[in-house]
Amino acid sequence: MFTLPSLPYSLDALSPVISSKTLSYHYGKHHKAYIDKLNNLIKGKPLEERALEEIIRETATDADEEAVFNNAAQVWNHTFFWQCLSPRKTEPSRAMTDLLKDSFGSVEDFKLGFEKAANEQFGSGWAWLVQAPEGDLKIISTPNAVNPLVTGDKAILTLDVWEHAYYLDYQNRRSDFTAAVVDRLLNWEFAEECLEGKAPPPIQRPHPAASSLRH
């Protein structure tokens, strides 16, 4: 059984950019619901024996397992997303700054591109900073639950742009939400760990013996 990982900060730590009310619903209701649904869907099936990342990769192109994929990927996405946010202001390291300049022209151009991808993702989905297998950084957006485990890229940062992520605080003003998060909450220290491969995958194993979710 998968269990809800603890948040890396308190529910009010991201306020006012993300209110404690939003975070309590987003983490305590939405994220938890994905975990509960996933557990129910894989109960008694071979998939129950697999690691979360394996479940995601194995069901990504299987129309018969669409519900499993959607819930498993959303479990992964949210666990990753919470780590991409920091109550304490962080800045890209020199090495990260150089990479961002090489890929996007400047840190500011990255931020504008990332916000654009987040704002223009039609309907529910995610914006991502990823590292392609060739090593260059890219901005991508994905619909619904799709994530870089499916595209074959390494996730560095993400932003959830499902309405449940911002509607209580910003109503229809998604671009105000994305600008505030990019300006004040992005966790560049976590991004650096992801880039260097030091950050553990969000969730290692599904089983009780090793089921404390790493974050």
Q: Which stretch binds Mn ion (CB under 5 A): 34-42, 61-69, 95-103, 153-161?
A: 153-161
Which own/partner contact pairs does 96-104 have at CB distance under 8 Å and 24+ positions apart? Answer: 96/188, 96/191, 96/192, 96/195, 99/137, 99/195, 100/137, 102/136, 102/137, 103/136, 103/137, 103/138, 104/137, 104/139
Q: Which stretch binds Mn ion (CB under 5 A): 49-57, 62-70, 157-165, 185-193?
A: 157-165
Site for Mn ion contains 162 (CB under 5 A): yes
Is 155 strand, coil or helix? strand
- Closest approach of Mn ion to the CB of residue 70, in Å: 12
Site for Mn ion contains 169 (CB under 5 A): no
- Closest approach of Mn ion to the CB of residue 95, in Å: 30
Residues in contact with 105: Cβ distance below 8 Å, sequence separation at least 6, in sequence order? none
- Closest approach of Mn ion to the CB of residue 210, in Å: 26
Q: In the complex with Mn ion, which residue's Cβ is closer, 50 or 78? A: 78
Site for Mn ion contains 160 (CB under 5 A): yes
CA 81 to chain centroid, in Å, comes to: 3
Give residues in contact with Mn ion (CB under 5 A).
160, 162
